[in-house]
Structure 1
Amino acid sequence: MKKIWLLIVLICILSACSENERSNNNPYIPNYTVNLSADMNLPTYSNLKFPSNGVIVPNYGAKGVIIFNAGGTYKAYDAACPNQELSSCVAMTINGINSLCSCDKTEYSLYTGLGGKQYPLKEYKVEVVGSIIHVYN
């Protein structure tokens, strides 16, 4: 019995149960190629040096990309409302440690991407080297 549970957990970890896979299966947000770099030494991105701060970088992804300092790690999400048709809402806004959908006023945690609706925020990969944050998929 222990072997069966171990096998189930292993399969879950290596396949569809992973956070990145779950976050990016969204019928409302197309899979646009995202490849951007943000230099935290520039005034536009300097707030990202401090935990619990975020910025929206327009003209990437579906509605822009939200980059968030989650304290020791960085998160990046598409600024499109994840539970609405793409054409029906403007880009999400940052509201403290949450992002706010302009259509249904749902707030999503920028730490987890969750908002209590069917789909979480669409997440992108993040790599930080020195003061440069690289966001990509």
Structure 2
Amino acid sequence: MKLLPKILIISILLLAIGINPSCDKQEYVPYVYVNVQLYPDMPAHSALKTPGNYIYVDGGYKGIVVACTYPDEFVAFDRACPHHPKTKDAVLSVDSTGLFLECPICGSKFNLYDGSLVSGPSKYTPLQYTTDYQGSTLYIYNSYY
């Protein structure tokens, strides 16, 4: 009969541990419909004609950074830091080297051209948007599979 209280206590502890939310639970970037059209031949977007250049544009959750990786090839990321996307000032910016996105709050650093984590506490990469270059128009949009 002394075994029953021990089993009950252990069961309650295991249940409590299983229900307790994890500190490592990802906080996702909130969904925002994205459908942006840019025109690299126009002066406002002409930086995108040269590989290695980038621009910031409105859209997404906290803005979008668009970079030219190769001639006529582009990447686009939401500027919300994936480590804590809902924190007000956690907005990614391109650092002085022009190679990395960096969060001013947590210091997480990501490769601008593929979004991979370089350093910092984030366990996640920035939200990437689909890019499609057709003719003289660059389309940036959400795509979920």
TM bucket, shorter chain: 0.7 to 0.9
Partner of 1:64: 63
- Contact persistence 2:84–2:90 (CA under 8 A): no
- Contact persistence 2:27–2:84 (CA under 8 A): no
What letter matches 2:106 in structure 1? D
Partner of 2:107: 105
Whole-angstrom CA distance in 2 between matches of 1:49 and 1:41: 7
Alignment gaps of 5+ in structure 1: 1-25
Q: 2:136 aligns with which of 127, 131, 135?
A: 131
- Contact persistence 1:51–1:70 (CA under 8 A): yes
TM-score under structure 1 length normalisation: 0.74
Moved beyond 3 Å, runs of 4+? none
Aligned length: 111
TM-score under structure 2 length normalisation: 0.70
Structure number with the higher helix fraction is 1
How many angstroms does 1:75 deviate by?
A: 0.5
How many angstroms does 1:33 deviate by?
A: 0.7
What letter matches 2:132 in structure 1? E
Larger relative contact order, structure 1 or 2 (CA cutoff 8 Å, min sep 6): 1
Bigger Cα Rg: 2
Note the aligned Cα RMSD (angstroms). 1.6
